[in-house]
A and B are shown apart, each in its own frame.
Chain A
Amino acid sequence: MNPYFFLNHSELSQIRLFRSSDGILHLEQEGKGFARVTLIRSFPYTMPDRFISVRSAEGHEIVMIQDVKLLAEDSFQAVRYELDRNYMIPVITQILTVRKKGSKWHFQIDTNYGPAALVMDNLHENIQPVTESRWMVTDNEGRRFELSDPEQMDARSREHWKKLI
């Protein structure tokens, strides 16, 4: 581990991230303040809450948060809010129906953002694996959805999924 940008637990609990009344995200670390910081997930799929790179307005990395859980409560909330805005990939929780109409695939799904209907030209290009048990589903309009761990879905969804991939 490079001690240069990994903070230990006590250092992590001392950094403060907060949103000022004008809506801008700030970072305070060892008395230094940074405004308009941005957050980047290093592992957006596999470890969405770990290894969050905090970058200055100019894009330089200020700190790396190994685990958001180690942050103090208010910082944790601010980070959560910002990450939610920065990563808008709904996670598929259920596959309700799969229909093939003509040459197109019509899916009714449920996601953590609520139900959605997808139309895809084909599956071999629109559904791509990102890791062993994670897939990125892109519909014809370019909207993206994540499907993680199909085993966690209900029996009907699993049945649909098994036939597709």
Chain B
Amino acid sequence: MKTESAKREAGKPVNGVAVVQQDTENPWLRLRADVDFTRRRFRHYEVIFKSLTMEMVDRQGKTIMTFHKNNMIDVSVREAFGGASFFIITGDGEIEAARFSFPYIEPYRQAVPTIRNWLAEKEETGVLALPVLEESSENDRCSKCYKTSSSSTSKCLTCSSRWSMLSRLAAYCTPYRSPMLVCALLLVLSVFIEVIPPYLIKMIVDEVAKPSGSLNVLFALASGLALVQVLSAAMQVIRSYLGVRIGGKLIGAIRRDMFGALLKLSMRFFDYRQVSQFIGRIQDDTDELKEFLTNGMVYLVTQMLLGVGILFMLFHLNWQLAAMILIPTPFLFAGFYWLWNRLSSLWYSQWQSAMHVNNVIGEALQGIRVIKAFAQENAEKNRFEKVNNHWINRTISFGNLWLGVTPIFTVLTAVFGIAIWYLGGRSVMSGTMSIGTLTAFTTYLLMFFGPIQASGQLLSWLNRSLGSAERILEIIDAKVDVPDKRDAVELSSVSGEIRFHDVRYGYEVERPVLKDINLTIRPGEMIGLVGRSGAGKTTLINMICRFYDPNAGSIALDGHDLKDIRQESLRKHIGVVLQETFLFDGTIAENIAYGRPDNPPETIIAAAHAANAHDFICRLPEGYDTRVGERGHRLSGGEKQRIAIARALLLDPEILILDEATASVDTETERLIQEALSRLIRGRTTIAIAHRLSTLRHADRLVVLDQGRIVEMGTHDELYAKQTHYYHLVESQKQTAKTPSEVG
């Protein structure tokens, strides 16, 4: 009975995760692997856990290897570069059971504790109700096409074609619906009007050629022609006026959304990208798109309508001749198709080259001091030269494509025009067609070839804009790694208790930087984080700010999981003083009041006072109105630091984070900063990292990290007396203090 119900229960999703219960025949856990480690080849197989055995089964269901539970002591996952291996530890040693690439690592890691529980269970207990997390990527699936959605975007792009992408962008036009409707109406009207002149010319020619032609009729026709031209010009003006206005606003809206999307993205996104590219991308891609959405779209629609209108007139004038136009059409379409694919890849690679150029410029400017100090201007110039040449070559190959295509179009249309002249002329000579009709016909034909000839250019335009649209959406849709839950709570006040529970995190999943972190920080407590560089101190701090989410385990503030708190609300309660203080373009007062712009001057001065910054600010001729930041007055490191402390004081957060706040300043400045800090720390939960261990001596507790793990915890005296990790760190620092330091 129990087995029956277990079977029924199997696969039933609980909280979106399929739970399978143990059964004697059915596996209770399946893990996939994709590398055959004996042959070093890709091969898909599964590691299956049954109640008494662990088996490796290939895709055909054939068992490759079986291990009995009794022979297994432990299991482990060993990370490699690009993948990992699953090991079982037996009495005879370690055996590699499976090897797999990156996407399969996490399920194994998550399964290890459960497998250990399974190994610990006595055999006699029989069927166990071990709920196991089955591999499930339910959350990553698209609701429309059920395909796994990509890791880097929040939208499933498999089911969204280019056209639906365009329609999303067209949604930006919604606020301008009425002026755009006017535009469209004018467009249809102007196309209609544009078709009239050749017909009027036909009537004029026929009237003139007629022996009984009347001057009055001629005058009326000529006036009609003039009126049509005036009307057409007027409409053009109105259309352009509306186009420019709509275009300007449209591009503004897209740029705004792109910038908004960039700010919304998590730190992780920026960790892996060269940020200077986004300046160019926000400008160029939106510009490209605007050009198309306003001018391009109008042009496309006009030409299409015009083509249809002219075709109608041609058939109306002489259907036999007009039918000839249809002959080259299939060839044209084939040509367009060929061209489309070429254009697409050419545009993309040209865009990439442009981005590389942007990146080189951006990097050089950011590192200009180093470049100059090492006299590497020439090396940088050469680097630029390389990417620039690449771009040039791309542009040339693009030009070459047009060079080849344009003459073909020209010759094709010219030959066709000549044929019409010949055949039409013959009809006129045989009396089946009037001269006027022939004139109109050839005029229409020329007009008709206009759009056809332009269509190549149009194709390129469309292609380029679609590419830009794609890359704009790439940013707007980029997946936020640390998203706010829909029901995330707002914390009005916090007491400041921070609890780490089994936290593991790695910037790259296969290389954890923090492992098994269990730590409870009491409200108002001051914690000093100690450890060698690379031990994971800054990462730990980043986790508190929720710049990243743990790969496993959880972090809670006052009992609320950080993931359940609105990020904006969380960070309002956290004040940060970092080693490097970034000052924004603005006055000192504005910089101190960053994050709280509505503060009265009294509190700003009070904060500066408490931060020991007031005196140096007053010594500046422009006082609190001194412009600082990229284009302003240069403050020294210690001065900037005190601005940062004032900023944090003004914010009055319950939690305070100090990351190497006193590094790289002289002793006197350090004293001033220390004094300011001690005022700041009072009554707040503080987590501090300091290079000089002496500055952390008064911390309530020191947490010693080594290779991502907490190895020691206690007060300075306790840890020093233990003579292990902390003691060694302190002693080695004493040693370095004795020897004269190198530079600065």
In the complex, how many angstroms separate the beta carbon of B408 from the nearest chain A beta carbon?
Answer: 22
Contact A88 B81 (CB under 8 A): yes
Contact A88 B35 (CB under 8 A): yes
Contact B93 A88 (CB under 8 A): no
Contact B103 A143 (CB under 8 A): yes
Specify which chain B residues have a CB less than 8 angstroms from the CB of A85 in the assembled complex.
37, 78, 80, 85, 96, 99
Q: B102 — nearest CB in chain A belongs to which residue?
A: A142
Specify which chain B residues have a CB less than 8 angstroms from the CB of A143 in the assembled complex.
82, 101-103
Give the interface segment out of B326-334, B343-351, B428-436. B343-351
In the complex, how many angstroms separate the beta carbon of B358 from the nearest chain A beta carbon?
Answer: 11
Contact B93 A87 (CB under 8 A): no
Near B by CB (< 8 A), chain A positions 22-78 give 22-24, 44, 59
Contact A88 B95 (CB under 8 A): no
A81-112: contact bitstring with B at CB < 8 Å (1 yes, 0 no)? 00011111110000000001011100000011
Q: Any chain A CB within 8 A of the CB of B355?
A: yes
Contact B99 A102 (CB under 8 A): no
Instruction: Name the contact of A23 in the complex, choosing from B94, B158, B470 (C-beta under 8 A).
Output: B94
Q: Any chain B CB within 8 A of the CB of A3?
A: no
Count of inter-chain pairs, beta carbons less than 8 A: 103
Q: B84 — nearest CB in chain A belongs to which residue?
A: A88
Contact A122 B471 (CB under 8 A): yes
Specify which chain A residues have a CB less than 8 angstroms from the CB of B153 in the assembled complex.
121
Q: Any chain A CB within 8 A of the CB of B520?
A: no
CA distance A89 to B351 in the complex (A): 29
Instruction: Name the contact of B94 in the complex, choosing from A22, A59, A102, A115 (C-beta under 8 A).
Output: A22
Contact B80 A86 (CB under 8 A): yes
Instruction: Name the contact of A102 in the complex, choosing from B35, B85, B158 (C-beta under 8 A).
Output: B158
CA distance A85 to B78 in the complex (A): 10
Specify which chain B residues have a CB less than 8 angstroms from the CB of A90 in the assembled complex.
42, 82
Contact A102 B157 (CB under 8 A): yes
Contact B273 A88 (CB under 8 A): no
Contact A22 B37 (CB under 8 A): no
Contacts A89-B82, A140-B151 hold; do A113 and B40 have CB atoms under 8 A apart?
Answer: yes
Give the interface segment out of B160-168, B489-497, B536-544, B565-573. B160-168
CA distance A143 to B707 in the complex (A): 26
CA distance A47 to B351 in the complex (A): 33
Contact B349 A141 (CB under 8 A): no
Contacts A86-B80, A104-B158, A164-B349 hold; do A24 and B94 have CB atoms under 8 A apart?
Answer: yes
Instruction: Name the contact of A140 in the complex, choosing from B99, B150, B471 (C-beta under 8 A).
Output: B150
Specify which chain B residues have a CB less than 8 angstroms from the CB of A122 in the assembled complex.
471, 474
Specify which chain A residues have a CB less than 8 angstroms from the CB of B471 in the assembled complex.
122
Interface centre among B80, B344, B473 (most CB of A within 10 A): B80
Contacts A23-B96, A59-B707 hold; do A116 and B81 have CB atoms under 8 A apart?
Answer: no
Instruction: Name the contact of A115 in the complex, choosing from B37, B42, B348 (C-beta under 8 A).
Output: B42
Near A by CB (< 8 A), chain B positions 138-186 give 150-153, 157-158, 160-162, 165
Contact A103 B94 (CB under 8 A): no
Interface size of A by CB at 8 A reads 38
In the complex, how many angstroms separate the beta carbon of A125 from the nearest chain B beta carbon?
Answer: 7
Q: Any chain A CB within 8 A of the CB of B509?
A: yes
Interface centre among B101, B272, B345 (most CB of A within 10 A): B101
Contact B101 A88 (CB under 8 A): yes
Contact A22 B92 (CB under 8 A): yes
Specify which chain B residues have a CB less than 8 angstroms from the CB of A115 in the assembled complex.
42
A125-144: contact bitstring with B at CB < 8 Å (1 yes, 0 no)? 10000000000000011111
Contact A88 B82 (CB under 8 A): yes
CA distance A34 to B384 in the complex (A): 49
Q: Any chain A CB within 8 A of the CB of B664?
A: no
Interface centre among B82, B95, B272 (most CB of A within 10 A): B82
Contact A124 B355 (CB under 8 A): yes
Specify which chain B residues have a CB less than 8 angstroms from the CB of A87 in the assembled complex.
80-82
Contacts A102-B158, A102-B160, A143-B82 hold; do A114 and B509 have CB atoms under 8 A apart?
Answer: no
Contact A88 B80 (CB under 8 A): yes
Near A by CB (< 8 A), chain B positions 46-104 give 78, 80-83, 85, 92-96, 99, 101-103
Contact A102 B161 (CB under 8 A): yes
Contact A23 B42 (CB under 8 A): no
Contact B349 A121 (CB under 8 A): no
Contact B94 A104 (CB under 8 A): no
Contacts A59-B707, A88-B80, A121-B474 hold; do A104 and B349 have CB atoms under 8 A apart?
Answer: no
In the complex, how many angstroms separate the beta carbon of A76 from the nearest chain B beta carbon?
Answer: 17
Q: Any chain A CB within 8 A of the CB of B41?
A: yes
Q: Any chain B CB within 8 A of the CB of A10?
A: no
Specify which chain B residues have a CB less than 8 angstroms from the CB of A22 in the assembled complex.
92-94
CA distance A122 to B352 in the complex (A): 11
Specify which chain A residues have a CB less than 8 angstroms from the CB of B707 in the assembled complex.
59
CA distance A102 to B156 in the complex (A): 11
Specify which chain A residues have a CB less than 8 angstroms from the CB of B355 in the assembled complex.
124
Specify which chain B residues have a CB less than 8 angstroms from the CB of A89 in the assembled complex.
81-82
Contact B93 A23 (CB under 8 A): yes
Contact B158 A114 (CB under 8 A): no
Q: Any chain B CB within 8 A of the CB of A20?
A: yes
Specify which chain A residues have a CB less than 8 angstroms from the CB of B160 in the assembled complex.
102-103
Q: Any chain B CB within 8 A of the CB of A155?
A: no
Q: B93 — nearest CB in chain A belongs to which residue?
A: A22
In the complex, how many angstroms separate the beta carbon of B736 from the nearest chain A beta carbon?
Answer: 20
In the complex, how many angstroms separate the beta carbon of A51 from the nearest chain B beta carbon?
Answer: 15
CA distance A104 to B344 in the complex (A): 13
CA distance A165 to B581 in the complex (A): 38
In the complex, how many angstroms separate the beta carbon of B469 from the nearest chain A beta carbon?
Answer: 9
A-B contact pairs, 11 of them (CB 8 A): A23-B94, A85-B80, A85-B96, A87-B80, A88-B101, A90-B82, A114-B41, A124-B352, A125-B152, A143-B101, A144-B102
Top-4 shortest CB links A-B: A22-B93, A88-B83, A23-B94, A141-B103
Besides A85-B37, A87-B81, A103-B160, 19 new A-B residue pairs in contact (Cβ under 8 A), listed by A number: A24-B93, A59-B707, A85-B78, A87-B80, A88-B99, A90-B42, A103-B165, A103-B470, A104-B150, A111-B42, A114-B41, A114-B43, A116-B42, A121-B153, A122-B474, A123-B348, A124-B351, A143-B102, A165-B352
